[in-house]
């Protein structure tokens, strides 16, 4: 698919991602479809980084995608980070990218997950942006001592975030052209 509308993507499949020709991509099982979309988008990001000599996860890279693709990317990355190292790790890793959390918030809104969106805005964000938490992350950067992270009040809120892959898959299946299928 090729269009002139900004935000539409049609990244080519890498040779290691070739799909059997008898199975349309939209008919792939959920887990495989999710992995295919994620891999495509990460490949597009890698290509963009090489072409522009810029860092990953930048505002210009996200802004070239449609709101639905940004919702997919931001929420999937967020859930990956939280499931790997918790909310503390997410905010530690994205301290210099506060705009990225806004994409997560917006993404959950587009996915129809307003309860989660509200919990993140009302419970998580005030703690993450508090002076104590920012100082804790700064201390962690200076000392690199694991005992610093365990002091974070964000740790008690990790369970607020759940896996919403099924919701993102529905988004992909309802909007196949947006995701290059």
0.85 exceeded by pTM: no
Q: What is the 3-state secondary structure (H, E, C) of the chain?
A: CCCCCCECCCCCCCHHHCCCCCCCHHHCCHHHHHHHHHHHHHHHHHHHHHHHCCCCCCHHHHHCECHHHHHHHHHHHHHHHHHHHHHHHHHHHCCCCHHHHHHHHHHHHHCCCHHHHHHHHHHHHHHHCCHHHHHHHHHHHHHCCHHHHCCCHHHHHHHHCCCCHHHHHHHHHHCCCCCCC
pLDDT, the chain, mean: 84
Average pLDDT estimate for 56-63: 79
Confidence at residue 19, expressed as pLDDT on a 0 to 100 scale: 46
Query: pLDDT of 64-83, one tens digit each?
Result: 889 999 999 999 999 999 99
Q: What b/e readout covers 48-73, taking b as 16+ CB neighbours within 10 angstroms?
A: eeeeeeeeebbeebbeebbebbbbbb
Q: How confident is the model at residue 120 (pLDDT cuts 50, 70, 90)?
A: very high
Q: For the chain, which residues make up each domain, given as ranges?
A: 22-174
């Amino acid at each position: 698919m090729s269009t002139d509308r900004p935000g539409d993507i049609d990244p080519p499949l890498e040779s290691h991602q070739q799909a059997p020709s008898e199975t349309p991509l939209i008919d792939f099982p959920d887990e495989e479809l999710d992995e295919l979309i994620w891999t495509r988008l990460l490949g597009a990001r890698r290509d963009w980084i090489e072409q522009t000599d810029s860092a990953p996860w930048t505002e210009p890279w996200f802004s070239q995608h449609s709101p639905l693709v940004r919702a997919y990317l931001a929420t999937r990355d967020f859930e990956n980070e939280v499931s790997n190292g918790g909310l503390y790790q997410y905010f530690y890793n994205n301290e210099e990218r506060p705009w990225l959390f806004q994409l997560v918030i917006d993404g959950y809104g587009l996915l129809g997950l307003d309860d989660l969106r509200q919990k993140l805005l009302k419970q998580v964000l005030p703690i993450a942006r508090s002076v104590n938490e920012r100082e804790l992350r700064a201390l962690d950067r200076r000392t690199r001592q694991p005992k610093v992270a365990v002091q974070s009040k964000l740790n008690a809120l990790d369970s607020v975030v759940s896996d919403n892959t099924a919701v993102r898959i529905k988004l992909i299946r309802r909007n196949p052209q947006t995701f290059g299928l």
